[in-house]
Amino acid sequence: MPLKQLDIFNSQAGSFSRWEIKQIHQILNQNPQTLEERVITTNDPEYLEFVLYKNRDYRPDILGIGGGDGTKTVTLTAVKKIWGYLPPYLAFFASGTNNNCAYTFQLSDGLTDKIKKILPSPIKIIAQPQTKPIQLAQYIQKTLQEGGELKTEPLDLLDVNGKKGFNVGFAAVPKLLWTYYGKTIDQYKKLEKALQKTDPAYYQKELEMIWHEQNPLSSFIEIISNGNENLLKRTGALYTLGTTLLSILSSFNPLNKRRKNFYQEPFEGEIFLDGEKVPLKNLTAIYISTYEQVNLGIKLKPFTFYPTPEARTEPGKMQVVLCSSTILDIVKQISRLWSGKHLQNLHYALVKEVKLTSPHPIIGHIDADFEIADQFTIKYDQTIKVISPFSTAHRN
């Protein structure tokens, strides 16, 4: 009997490519005697759940996810909700704006991959460019055809208030990402104020309404990307090099006190690690992850950091980093972030469960999506097997 593979692609992912999906589908269906593949392409979570329900008896051996970090969260959450389990193997086809999880397993070439996808068709026909997702499909097809065993690495999955993911941040973390995405401090403050008067059932709707408001930076992005959408937006280069430098780095300006204070506001609430209350005061950032690195979309050292270097050292546990330092203190130690060393004056822990409570609605960030709740419980869910032929470490 052939193995079964179900591939789910997010059609709104940052570097979504029908050309790439076609290549992957053709490769994986070369030998129906060893592998049978089905493809789902959608950007609607409700439709995804419906299609998963229709395919509930398919029981694939391999689940392929095409998109970025946010797509993984949405897909894994939906699959566990509808099927109640995850297939034995996971294949990550990196095609998002941010592909941190894929970078961890050498499953993305970052900007290089994104540029290959937007080459004109005549050049593709001649050059036949191979992105990492295409190479992954070739590896799966070849290995199964030859009767080999797929190389995998384990990765712990988290349950965050019922959603499935791999990392989550609070306090300064969602604030930094908010400005990274081109949103303003005023918009964030407006959201915080609105949430105080909003029923918890409508927290996400309040977020969506403010998120879609125009601001000077987003208008500027639209103006300079007009006519260049493929090159700028689909590669993620504009957001990586533009909003990162204009928004986040401007906070290091000593004259910009308002922005500096924005990132250094302490978390108002309590934190529990494996049931023990954290005695630390004035925490400005909380970051939790089951893998080591964070990347801004370009495979160069200045864009890759290792905030949780021991995240995969103890199966069943996540690494927690608690920070009460200023942004300037972190910047002064950036070489340690590049090399995966602990930063001074930060607290590191490996735990099975984290709980956060607050008298105010808490804004968090799960993988690539903002999540708002009155309290958060983050716990180990299960260990998955990621097909990982390009990594130097294999732990089947």
Strand 62-67 relative to strand 89-94, pairing: parallel
Torsion angle (degrees, nearest 10) of CA 162, 47, 64, 351: -10
pTM to 2 decimals? 0.89
Six token digits for residue 30 = 């070369």
The answer to whether residue 300 scores a pLDDT higher than 80 is no
The answer to whether residue 316 scores a pLDDT higher than 90 is yes
Class of domain 3-150: alpha beta
CATH 3.40.50.10330 in the chain, residue ranges: 3-150
Torsion angle (degrees, nearest 10) of CA 38, 41, 45, 51: -30
The answer to whether residue 75 scores a pLDDT higher than 70 is yes
Share above pLDDT 90 across residues of the chain, in percent, rounded to a whole number:
65
CATH 2.60.200.40 in the chain, residue ranges: 160-382
Is the model more confident about 98 or about 55?
A: 55
| 244-279 burial code (b ≥16 CB/10 A, e <16) | beebbeebeeeeeeebbebbbeebebebebeeeebe
Mean pLDDT of the chain: 87
Where are any strands of DSSP class E within the chain?
Answer: 3-10, 35-42, 62-67, 89-94, 152-160, 163-165, 167-171, 270-273, 276-277, 285-289, 294-295, 304-305, 318-323, 346-351, 353-366, 369-387
- C-beta of residue 372 within 8 angstroms of C-beta of residue 203: yes
Digit-coded pLDDT (tens) for 187-242: 999 999 999 999 999 999 999 999 998 876 666 555 554 444 444 444 444 455 55
Q: What is the C-alpha separation between 34 and 12, in angstroms, rounded?
A: 31
The answer to whether residue 394 scores a pLDDT higher than 60 is no
The answer to whether residue 66 scores a pLDDT higher than 80 is yes
Q: What is the C-alpha separation between 236 and 250, in angstroms, rounded?
A: 20
For domain 160-382, give the fold. Tumour Suppressor Smad4 (2.60.200)
Q: What is the mean pLDDT of residues 254-277?
A: 85
Q: Which of 307, 330, 321 is nearest to 104 (CA)?
A: 307
Indicate the SS3 state at residue 167.
strand
**What is each CA distance from 287 to 65, 120, 173, 262, 319, in whole angstroms?**
24, 41, 7, 17, 8
Q: What is the mean pLDDT of residues 67-84?
A: 96
- C-beta of residue 364 within 8 angstroms of C-beta of residue 288: no
Q: Which pLDDT does position 153 carry in this prediction?
A: 97
Q: What is the C-alpha separation between 179 and 70, in angstroms, rounded?
A: 17
Q: What is the mean pLDDT of residues 260-266?
A: 87
Q: Which pLDDT does position 98 carry in this prediction?
A: 78
